[in-house]
């Protein structure tokens, strides 16, 4: 009995994990199906676009510009070890567009948007607002989840695009301001080096990360426990899950796009 | 008419409803009383499909509540939630007119706003609260707004979940009177759950006492004080002595 107890605990944890993966997958499919079927709630969609997109711009911009700037310094310093300082524009561009832009924007959206969605919906659940929606003939998945998930799906790629540009600009500022690069050459080198596939992969990653961030916020909010503790736990779990899934999806997508 | 037929519901090992049988005739006001945690809210939520019973059936006008068009079914109901359950992100009038701004009962925005203001007036609130947000209202005002929302689409059946919880005695009296007036005026079937005996006397035509997952006693409110039922007598008197175990 004592010997098998750890195994039983491991089995229980594995089964619980598998059940949760199944629940999240079904929830995500349900969210997608509600996006495609009427009724559509335009006001909620517009409000979600504003919250996920426009209001995330400052944090995305600041994250991208500092990361791009730090990247330029690191590449210059690292490159100088084998006389490759000149590759700063190219590496900053590829690093920001392929990898750091989408991942950092995804993580910032997870921190800002996933948490706020989870806290808002969880509070609605504990104060019976979700039950009230049902009694008012309004499907919570359609009214709360579909607009937020669709908004994130569409607007996070735009945030990633903005983040990529600002990140590259951060590198440009440092390279031309302190490292002695010629501005025109820097821009030409960046522009000539990037390929369409780099940009497209970046935007696709943005869309997937946006979907993950909003879906996790809605899932944990809808399944929140009771009281303030339930709301707190839902918020924390949603951000953890979104961040881990974004990093895992990033690896999967990078393998799919570039590991050939 | 709403009929509960041998309804059971458990949450894990906890058996909350153990075979509830109850009839609420059309146009009557039924108040379900019972201690905290006895399953009153669960019974009410089972009717609306917010909770699915494990077994038994609930019929509304002879039709199984779980079958048929959900939207059409729910359009017949209005509900006042215990904490109001007003939507924080919407103004007071948008809360009241929620059902009139979307779905099958959708009206033009101006008309919906007018109806909302009229309903707010009906529950004793002035039009200047229409553009406030729920967080700017007191508890009593939130209950009134919740009541206005419950009656906005002229439902045939209205549910009241602990309508006076958290209110002072005078505001409780006001809400009780409003509920009674509105139910009589609309000719609606009403189901109220409460443990406030003042509410029971003000609102009820009939009373049902839920204890241990079953209806212990049901009858007209006029017979409540002389029922002879030990559970009901103990509950009304608020005594710690009797068949209902009181944890001290």
Q: Using the predicted structure, report yes or no on whether residue A260 has a pLDDT greater than 80.
A: no
Do residues A177 and A76 make contact, with C-beta atoms less than 8 angstroms apart? no
Peptide bond between residue A39 and the one before it cis (omega within 30 degrees of 0)? yes
Output the six-digit token pair for B151: 């009656």
Do residues A93 and A179 make contact, with C-beta atoms less than 8 angstroms apart? no
Do residues B120 and B127 make contact, with C-beta atoms less than 8 angstroms apart? yes
Identify the band that residue B239 occupies on the pLDDT scale cut at 50, 70 and 90: confident
Q: Does A39 touch chain B (CB under 8 A)?
A: yes
Q: Using the predicted structure, report yes or no on whether residue B85 has a pLDDT greater than 80.
A: yes
Cβ-defined contact of B81 to A138 (cutoff 8 Å): no
Burial of B132 (0-12, 13-18, 19+ CB in 10 A): middle
**Lowest-confidence range among B106-120, B132-146, B166-180?**
B166-180
Do residues B210 and B160 make contact, with C-beta atoms less than 8 angstroms apart? no
Angular region, B20: left φ>0, alpha ψ -120 to 50, beta rest: beta
Stretch A156-168: mean pLDDT: 97
CA dihedral B32, B36, B41, B44 (to 10 degrees): -20
Stretch B62-84: mean pLDDT: 87
Stretch A216-231: mean pLDDT: 94
Interface size, chain A vs chain B, as Cβ–Cβ contacts under 8 Å: 52
Nearest chain B residue to A123 by CA distance is B88
Facing residue for A137 by CB, picked from B45, B50, B99: B99
Q: Does B233 touch chain A (CB under 8 A)?
A: no
- Write out pLDDT tens, residues B15-58: 999 999 999 999 899 999 988 888 898 999 999 998 999 999 99
Chain B nearest-CA distance from A46, in A, is 14
Non-local (6+) Cβ contacts of A92 within 8 A are A68, A71, A72, A75, A167, A168, A171, A172, A175, A190
Identify the band that residue A103 occupies on the pLDDT scale cut at 50, 70 and 90: very high
B-chain residues near A129 (CB < 8 A): 85-88
Do residues B204 and B192 make contact, with C-beta atoms less than 8 angstroms apart? yes
Q: What is this model's ipTM?
A: 0.87
- Write out pLDDT tens, residues A114-124: 999 999 999 99
CA nearest neighbour of A198 among A118, A116, A95: A95
- B69 or A232, which is more confident? A232
Facing residue for B74 by CB, picked from A47, A129, A135: A135
CA–CA separation, A66 vs A72, rounded Å?
10
Do residues A246 and A209 make contact, with C-beta atoms less than 8 angstroms apart? yes
Across chain B, mean pLDDT equals 89
Res B247: pLDDT: 56
Res A1: pLDDT: 62
CA–CA separation, A95 vs B169, rounded Å?
67
Of A76-80, A142-146, B220-224, which has the strongest mean pLDDT? A142-146
In this structure, the strands spanning B55-60 and B206-211 are: unpaired
B146-B151-B156 Cα angle (round to 5):
135
Q: What percent of chain A has pLDDT above 90?
A: 87
Q: What percent of chain A has pLDDT above 70?
A: 99
Res B226: pLDDT: 85
Res B174: pLDDT: 84
Res B93: pLDDT: 96
- Write out pLDDT tens, residues B174-198: 889 888 988 888 889 999 999 889 8
Instruction: Classify residue B12 by its DSSP letter.
Output: T
Res B246: pLDDT: 67
Chain A nearest-CA distance from B3, in A, is 19
Strand partners, B55: B8
Res A38: pLDDT: 87
Q: Does B154 touch chain A (CB under 8 A)?
A: no
Residue to mutate among A44, A128, A148, A222, with most B CBs inside 10 A, is A128
Stretch A157-162: mean pLDDT: 97
CA–CA separation, B40 vs B28, rounded Å?
18
Q: Using the predicted structure, report yes or no on whether residue A58 has a pLDDT greater than 60.
A: yes
Cβ-defined contact of A128 to B88 (cutoff 8 Å): no
Domain extent for A202 = 5-258
Q: What percent of chain B has pLDDT above 90?
A: 52
Identify the band that residue B104 occupies on the pLDDT scale cut at 50, 70 and 90: confident
Q: Using the predicted structure, report yes or no on whether residue B74 has a pLDDT greater than 80.
A: yes
Res B231: pLDDT: 86
Res A56: pLDDT: 95
Query: Number of structural domains, chain A?
Result: 1
CA–CA separation, A155 vs A206, rounded Å?
8
In this structure, the strands spanning B29-33 and B206-211 are: parallel
Identify the band that residue B229 occupies on the pLDDT scale cut at 50, 70 and 90: confident
Res B133: pLDDT: 96
Q: Using the predicted structure, report yes or no on whether residue A3 has a pLDDT greater than 60.
A: yes
Q: Using the predicted structure, report yes or no on whether residue A192 has a pLDDT greater than 80.
A: yes
A-chain residues near B89 (CB < 8 A): 47
B16-19 CB contacts, 8 Å cutoff, 24+ apart: B16/B42, B16/B213, B17/B42, B17/B43, B17/B46, B17/B53, B17/B213, B17/B214, B18/B212, B18/B213, B18/B214, B19/B56, B19/B213, B19/B214
Stretch A18-31: mean pLDDT: 93
Do residues A142 and A184 make contact, with C-beta atoms less than 8 angstroms apart? no
Do residues A230 and A122 make contact, with C-beta atoms less than 8 angstroms apart? yes
One-letter-per-residue 3-state SS of A83-106:
CCHHHHHHHHHHHHHHHHHHHHHH
Q: Does A134 touch chain B (CB under 8 A)?
A: yes
Stretch A68-89: mean pLDDT: 90
Q: Using the predicted structure, report yes or no on whether residue B156 has a pLDDT greater than 80.
A: yes
Identify the band that residue B248 occupies on the pLDDT scale cut at 50, 70 and 90: low
Stretch B159-183: mean pLDDT: 87
Q: Does A135 touch chain B (CB under 8 A)?
A: yes
Across chain A, mean pLDDT equals 94
């Amino acid at each position: 009995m004592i010997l098998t107890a750890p195994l039983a605990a491991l089995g229980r944890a594995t089964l619980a994990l598998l059940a949760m993966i199944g629940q999240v997958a079904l929830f995500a499919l349900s969210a997608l199906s509600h996006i495609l079927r009427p009724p559509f709630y335009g006001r909620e969609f517009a409000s979600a676009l504003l919250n996920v997109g426009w209001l995330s711009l400052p944090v995305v911009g600041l994250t991208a510009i500092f990361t791009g700037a730090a990247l330029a310094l690191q590449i210059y310093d690292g490159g100088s070890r084998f006389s490759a300082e000149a590759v700063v524009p190219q590496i900053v561009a590829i690093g920001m567009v392929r990898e750091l832009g989408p991942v950092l924007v995804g993580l910032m959206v997870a921190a800002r948007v996933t948490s706020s969605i989870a806290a808002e919906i969880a509070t609605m659940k504990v104060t019976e607002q979700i039950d009230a929606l049902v009694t008012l003939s309004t499907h919570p998945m359609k009214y709360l989840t579909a607009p937020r998930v669709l908004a994130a799906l569409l607007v996070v790629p735009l945030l990633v695009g903005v983040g990529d540009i600002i990140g590259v600009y951060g590198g440009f500022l440092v390279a031309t301001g302190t490292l002695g690069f010629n501005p025109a050459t820097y821009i030409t080198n960046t522009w000539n080096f990037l390929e369409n596939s780099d940009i497209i992969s970046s935007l696709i990653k943005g869309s997937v990360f946006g979907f993950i961030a909003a879906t996790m916020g809605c899932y944990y909010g809808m399944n929140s426990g009771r009281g303030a503790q339930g709301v707190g736990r839902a918020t924390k779990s949603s951000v953890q899950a979104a961040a881990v899934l974004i990093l895992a999806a990033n690896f999967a997508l990078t393998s799919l796009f570039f590991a050939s | 008419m709403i009929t509960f037929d041998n309804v059971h519901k458990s949450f894990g090992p906890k058996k909350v409803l153990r075979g509830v049988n109850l009839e609420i005739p059309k146009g009557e006001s039924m108040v379900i009383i019972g201690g905290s945690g006895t399953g009153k809210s669960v019974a009410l939520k089972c009717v609306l499909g917010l909770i699915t019973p494990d077994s038994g059936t609930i019929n509304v006008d002879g039709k199984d509540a779980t079958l048929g068009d959900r939207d059409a079914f729910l359009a017949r109901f209005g509900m006042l939630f215990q904490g109001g359950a007003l939507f924080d992100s919407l103004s007071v009038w948008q809360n009241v007119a929620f059902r009139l701004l979307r779905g099958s009962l959708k009206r033009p925005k101006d008309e919906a706003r007018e109806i909302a203001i009229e309903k707010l007036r009906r529950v004793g609130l002035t039009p200047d609260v229409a553009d406030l947000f729920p967080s700017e209202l007191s508890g009593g005002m939130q209950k009134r707004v919740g009541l206005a929302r419950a009656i906005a689409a002229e439902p045939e059946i209205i549910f009241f979940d602990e309508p006076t919880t958290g209110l002072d005695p005078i505001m409780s009296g006001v809400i009780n009177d409003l509920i009674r007036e509105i139910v009589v005026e609309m000719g609606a079937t009403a189901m109220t759950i409460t443990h406030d005996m003042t509410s029971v006397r003000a609102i009820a035509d009939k009373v049902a006492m839920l204890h241990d997952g079953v209806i212990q006693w049901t009858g007209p409110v006029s017979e409540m004080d002389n029922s002879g039922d030990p559970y009901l007598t103990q509950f009304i008197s608020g005594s710690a002595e009797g068949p209902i175990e009181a944890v001290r």
